Structure 1
Amino acid sequence: MPTLETERLVLRAPAQADFPAFAAYCASPRATFSWGQIGADRAWSEFAAAIGSWPLMGFGAWSIEDRASGTYCGEVLLQQPAHFPEPELGWTLMEEAEGKGIAFEAATAARDWFAAHHSDKSLVSYITPGNTRSEALAARLGAAHDPDAPLPDGETPAETAVYRHRSAA
């Protein structure tokens, strides 16, 4: 798993020390647009699956760390679980990290890494309609709503909108 560095951030391998903050996010109303509020056991499954994606798919999750303070800010991930028709760029930020451009900086680095290493694949973000912060971030990243794109298995347009990122070409 590569480590990526930006001006303010280090995208690094997730660590056990990151899990309590991740689990707290998952148990909070902030997780509504991710998978809904879930307990620590399911949060562990989500955390571990994103890490386990690296040897299986050649991409996965990075923990976002503030370079100056070493603070865990959340995660940015590239994933394609079995029910996703395409690889997804996603992000989860701790509340104290929001509104600082951290998600944009981390997602840009992850998107660019994906384009350099998996240029044969398209990249989307699956976003719950009404998640205005994520919709705005996807647009800022240059992604456009693609109403004709296939949805994850079992999901409807009322539950999931597909934002397609521009290809590296």
Structure 2
Amino acid sequence: MRDTDLHIPTLTTERLILRPLGLEDVDALVPFYATEGVRFVGGPMTREQVWRMVAMELGHWQLRGYGRWAVARRDTGVFCGTVGLWCPEGWPEPEIGWTLLPAAQGQGIATEAARTARHYAYDVLDWDTAISLIDPANARSIALAERLGARHDGMYTHERFGPMAIWRHPSAQELAT
């Protein structure tokens, strides 16, 4: 993608707004990424590293034409985390990924947002399939992948994150039947 006009669509669901990430989200992400519990998603990180990660997320939209959204509650506007489409250099295939702040977990927010992102990938971008790469020890993400209908489909070894389980989402055709 060479277009210099970055367009990130805003999507809405019954409870959520999926919008572009912004500088206002850095403050919410810094305490989350400062903990050891974020080892599954590249942490811990300093504030400077979180800022760079947000810039990278926006750059992914520019380079690929898709990416991850900031997820916020429609009723309050409270930032919940990031969910969306991801395929940086070295990734085996395009994926649907999610990272939710602890206060937003266990409420179906990730499921709702990931389904919305998957519909966008299939209906707008015309993807046939998608994966989610999940650390084999991340039981919460594995449970979410299963709720989304994904099936374990092998392993992939990432150069920094090590072995990752590939979870294959139902194809667009499977979801249509």
What TM-score do the two structures reach when normalised by structure 1?
A: 0.91
Q: Which runs of 5+ in 2 are unaligned?
A: 1-7
Letter of the aligned partner of 2:168 in structure 1? R
Residues 76 and 134 (structure 1 numbering): CA distance in 2 closer, same or farther, change over 3 Å?
Answer: same
Distance 1:67 1:120 in 2: 27
Structure 1 runs, 4 residues or longer, greater than 3 Å off: none
Structure 1 partner of 2:29: 22
Contact 1:50 1:77 in 2 (8 A): no
Q: Could you tell which deviates more after superposition, 114-123 or 76-85?
A: 114-123
Residues 53-132 of structure 1 mapped to structure 2, 5 A cutoff:
53-132=60-139
Distance 2:127 2:18 in 1: 23
Structure 1 partner of 2:5: none
**TM-aligned CA deviation for residue 121 of structure 1:** 4.9
Letter of the aligned partner of 1:113 in structure 2? Y
User: Is 1:3 paired with 2:10?
Assistant: yes
User: Is 1:163 paired with 2:167?
Assistant: yes
Contact 2:87 2:94 in 1 (8 A): yes
More strand by share: 2
**TM-aligned CA deviation for residue 19 of structure 1:** 0.8
Structure 1 partner of 2:49: 42
**TM-aligned CA deviation for residue 118 of structure 1:** 2.5
Q: Which runs of 5+ in 1 are unaligned?
A: none
Contact 2:15 2:73 in 1 (8 A): yes
CA RMSD of aligned residues (A): 1.7
**TM-aligned CA deviation for residue 155 of structure 1:** 6.5
Letter of the aligned partner of 1:136 in structure 2? A
Identity among equivalent positions (%) equals: 40
Find the residue that maps to 1:159 and give its secondary structure: strand
Distance 2:24 2:14 in 1: 23
**Alignment length (residue pairs):** 166
Find the residue that maps to 1:163 and give its secondary structure: strand
Distance 2:62 2:106 in 1: 33
Contact 2:19 2:69 in 1 (8 A): yes
